[in-house]
Amino acid sequence: DAEITQSPRHKITETGRQVTLACHQTWNHNNMFWYRQDLGHGLRLIHYSYGVQDTNKGEVSDGYSVSRSNTEDLPLTLESAASSQTSVYFCASSDPGQGPGLKQFFGPGTRLTVL
Amino acid sequence: DQQVKQNSPSLSVQEGRISILNCDYTNSMFDYFLWYKKYPAEGPTFLISISSIKDKNEDGRFTVFLNKSAKHLSLHIVPSQPGDSAVYFCAALSGTYKYIFGTGTRLKVLA
């Protein structure tokens, strides 16, 4: 069965370190997204991609970067981790071929703690 | 500026009764609205959606109502079951394939 996976599921790091969160989907979806979930804020979009070599900034992109070298993967990198980036991170994908209003499929999430 | 708002952080309902979750939005240009359900330690899962040209969409126990003049949508769950206990997010489609999410409502269905 097609799926979307994230790794690691839990990560503890120190302020200033570079961290990369992996996202891998086997749906063959062109669209991929990264969100962070924080209490009182819901899900906020960090970066998104509509296909290979395409990346775009979301509403909370400062301090994060992504790259899209193939259809399956969209790794999220925190260049220099800050305590404010402690959060739960979700990756999602969707298929533009299904038309507008299409649903997104979410990964299980990565809980990141920055000390 | 929160374009999609869920003003009730939590809701408790007796099993078998109706659960009504509400969502307000500010942008009249949103094309689609979706509801997602999220259990602890899992990613959100799609529940139901509605196009802005419709005012109702039904799928089993779940019905979404859209009131464009009031910029308001609601999710009705009838009858509510203990397994429905989760956090529910509404989301609005902005432009292409970007979704703006509300802050979520935690539903607790009491047995």
> In degrees, to the nearest 5, what angle opens at C-alpha A33 toward C-alphas B47 and A9?
85
CA B13 to chain A, closest CA, distance in angstroms equals 22
Buried b / exposed e along A83-110 (16+ C-beta atoms within 10 A): eebbbbbbbbbbbeeeeebbbbbbbebb
Tell me which residue of A107, A104, A103 sits closest to A93, measured CA to CA: A104
Decide if pLDDT at B94 tops 70: yes
| Residue B51 vs residues A50, A59, A99: alpha-carbon distances, Å | 22, 24, 12
Closest chain B residue by Cα to residue A109: B43
Band (B93; pLDDT cuts 50, 70, 90): confident
Decide if pLDDT at B96 tops 90: no
Decide if pLDDT at B1 tops 70: no
Q: Which residue has the tokens 């942008």?
A: B27
Question: Tell me: the pLDDT tens digits for B48-74?
Answer: 999 999 999 999 999 999 999 999 999
Q: How many CB pairs under 8 A join A and B?
A: 57
Say whether A42 and B104 touch across the interface (CB within 8 A). Answer: yes
Q: Provide the pLDDT for residue A39.
A: 84
**Considering CB atoms only, which of B6, B42, B93 is closest to A100?**
B93
**What are the φ and ψ backbone dihedral angles of A83, each rounded to 5 degrees?**
-60, -30
Question: Tell me: the pLDDT tens digits for B18-28?
Answer: 999 999 999 88
What the block records as the tokens of B24 is: 């307000």
Mean pLDDT of B12-39: 94
What the block records as the tokens of A96 is: 């533009």
The residue type found at B3 is Q
Q: Provide the pLDDT for residue A42.
A: 87
Mean pLDDT of B69-87: 97
**Considering CB atoms only, which of B43, B49, B97 is closest to A90?**
B43
How much is the CA Rg of chain B, to the nearest whole Å? 13
Would you give per-residue pLDDT tens digits along chain A (115 residues)? 779 999 999 999 999 999 999 999 998 999 999 999 998 888 999 999 999 999 999 989 999 999 999 999 999 999 999 999 999 999 999 887 766 557 889 999 999 999 9
What the block records as the tokens of A46 is: 């960090």
